Chains A and B, each alone.
Chain A
């Protein structure tokens, strides 16, 4: 048997019912009461209606992923009841505020079979009594839920204060609603959940979205301008940095399109400040001509590519890691680039900083891949301990230098326009060492080779993929991006189990691809399993191209959903035998 120490609560309703706010408030409440949490948001690409949910998984140990099945369902709409009922674990509890609904035969059977308890919270009587409107029904249900969980109401009050961006009057009304929900008499005492609060105290931890961490890493790295066109899942980077603009003094510009955003960034980077752009696949497509321009003019550039499922508009508010090929092969012509992928808030915070160092040192474009699961999920952390020193690769004395002069490393001296009497042209036409146009066959070849040489140096500074576990064993898992979180949580869950011995190889730096470690490891494992949130198994294809290794076992998921714990439990035949909550009478 494996350890079981996680629980999950999911709040479901319609878009516009405050699902996101109350979900975040629940996560903070659980954190303040001593748990490690992970917040996962599902929502349709509409503003009102449909089905939206927020799931908080929590545990006594750090977790960064969601389970498919839940222990407590909080339903604000009829659709939510029908959708979430089948997701409940055995002995699960469902509380709701829906006056009339009818269950079909299967649902009634399910309730019976899984011993699910359903409780109606009469929010409308409460709303009348406290003289509020129906918008607070989510807060009333939160009150009822934390009562069931035996959580101190003060933690929920503190959480609401943190999450709700409202004036005091509205906040007070929410406190009243919370209290009223807390006091509502349910015919159940408390739920005994498998998760228990940790002995170490995570109360002072922070909870932030991947997008917050990306933005913070950018501020830390001295990014002074952010140009972007809103596109899920990176829009909240724009919102967050705009909210911080007075505090940071940054220029935050919502551009008229993605081409504008990336060109403005190139202009700002060329002059010698640091500018960031972020987008998703469709917007990135528009930026690719500029990517190519960055390469030939050797203007450093960093683009965050937040993945969601495509093609085209695809699934705007869902997740995938299907744009690795796009990041690696985009832009016309041949050039050196660096592609990295973040997977959680820590890697987000650090990789953005490193991306700028690489972009400036090597004078190349760097693409930072993320996916909706990282961008918009809420991770728990305590501090970012390491310090990344800013590296710019600028020279002070340009008198005897030529901007594109031939060097062993392929990296030419770079100085900033306006900083020296010695001028140069950044030319999107092929050019020779002074930037002036050339079509001469010898000069063209030398310049192409000069730029290509950078890859050798780049491969020297790029770290090997990260190894979690031993260098030999039964199963080697290989992945990148957000699946890392599910994989590591899965390994933690089955740790100590004698059935299989797992190791995980995580690719954070994806291109140019480092293969030495992988090639050493594959010989030492009985099974090598590729896990990706896409159809092709794009990392697998890249590894095959570089090493000839052919993955026989692949776990590929491409339905817009992230990897849930159960996906891996099922694949490795661990079954669904988790001990689930009991109602204590």
Chain B
């Protein structure tokens, strides 16, 4: 059996006191250990931002990539070797501004990996500028007169793309996060997990307590059906008063990217096992 401690690293965390990232890290470790996945059987891919500064604070095969670009990196990795569990992490800055196209196309492609969005509604590592999820009108570093752009509700965007797995959780609830992460890892396809994350340093508007008072799991609703996209869209809209968490939407019938590939239909090996010299004589002959 694999235990959580196997994921512990000798490196010291560098996050602020009470940062939501601590809980997310702990939950990921617990989810992986509980699924009996060893650190050497997983690829953890981190974007740039505060969350990414945890990339070397967890013992596993991991990658610390470029700002906004971790999704295609993870997609390429997941395609190359399905035997290794791929999980990607990104912040609201990288994911919803710099690389928002990748989120859209990863959902469309339905690559088989889990994506955890650390949404703390600001750019923490560059000292508190507005992100796409910062509430309009808020005064932020570099928006002294208030944020002018409309606020993006990422789950609305995600659901509009008919994902195969869309869940929301909260950085203050380790048990909930662990459960969601486990379901996301189990799901075959692109598993979108949005973590509502507190940022004690730069986000004074929606701290831990603010979320704690407002979140409820959709499974507590009577007759909530996670296969009902319209229902998911409805509950996802409210990010102010009653905030829905849990698996908001799940479509098990949607095939993941790899299963859709005609070229890989009857092939049992992984791309990483197939690097060798190939005979191209037959193809060349077609040009004669």
Contacts and interface: CB of A to CB of B under 8 A. Distances in A.
Interface of A: 204-208, 212, 216, 219-222, 224-225, 227, 244-252, 255-257, 259-261, 263-275, 289-290, 293, 297, 383-384, 387-390, 392, 416-418, 420-429, 431, 435-437
B253 interface: no
A246 B262 contact: yes
B39 A423 contact: yes
A206 B287 contact: yes
Nearest to A378: B287
Contacts of A208: 284, 287
Interface string B249-288: 0000000000001111001001110111111100111011
Given A219-B278, A271-B77, A256 B101 contact: yes
B279 to A, nearest CB: 8
A275 B79 CA distance: 11
Contacts of A247: 283
Contacts of A289: 66, 69
A418 B66 contact: no
A285 B84 CA distance: 32
A292 B190 CA distance: 28
Nearest to B9: A436
B40 A422 contact: yes
B263 A252 contact: yes
Interface stretch (B53-61, B191-199, B238-246): B53-61
B238 to A, nearest CB: 31
Contacts of A248: 263, 278
B256 to A, nearest CB: 13
Interface string B30-59: 000000001111010100100001011001
Interface string B61-79: 1111110010111111111
Given A267-B78, A268-B79, A275-B80, 4 more contacts: A206-B288, A266-B76, A274-B275, A290-B69
A207 B284 CA distance: 9
A184 B94 CA distance: 67
B81 interface: yes
A297 B80 CA distance: 18
Contacts of A424: 61
Contact of A259 (B40, B53, B55, B69): B69
B87 to A, nearest CB: 13
Closest 5 pairs between A and B when the two form their complex, measured CB to CB:
A267-B76, A264-B76, A263-B72, A206-B287, A267-B77
Nearest to A240: B283
A244 B283 contact: yes
Contact of B271 (A219, A251, A390): A251
12 contacts: A216-B280, A216-B284, A220-B280, A225-B80, A251-B263, A252-B263, A256-B101, A264-B76, A267-B78, A271-B76, A290-B66, A424-B61
Contacts of A392: 275
A250 B263 contact: yes
Contacts of B274: 222, 224, 249, 273
Contacts of A260: 72, 101-102, 105
B55 A425 contact: yes
B267 A249 contact: yes
Contacts of A227: 76
A273 B104 CA distance: 26
A207 B41 CA distance: 46
A417 B78 CA distance: 12
A418 B81 contact: yes
B270 to A, nearest CB: 8
B56 A271 contact: no
B284 A423 contact: no
A383 B272 CA distance: 29
Contacts of B71: 263
B2 to A, nearest CB: 11
B90 to A, nearest CB: 13
B11 to A, nearest CB: 6
A265 B80 CA distance: 10
B285 to A, nearest CB: 8
Contacts of A225: 76, 79-80, 271
Contacts of B76: 225, 227, 263-271, 275
B221 interface: no
Contacts of B283: 216, 219, 244, 247
A425 B53 CA distance: 12
A52 B288 CA distance: 26
Nearest to A434: B56
A251 B270 CA distance: 11
B66 A222 contact: no
Contact of A273 (B101, B102, B275): B275
Contacts of A250: 263
Contact of B61 (A251, A265, A417, A428): A417
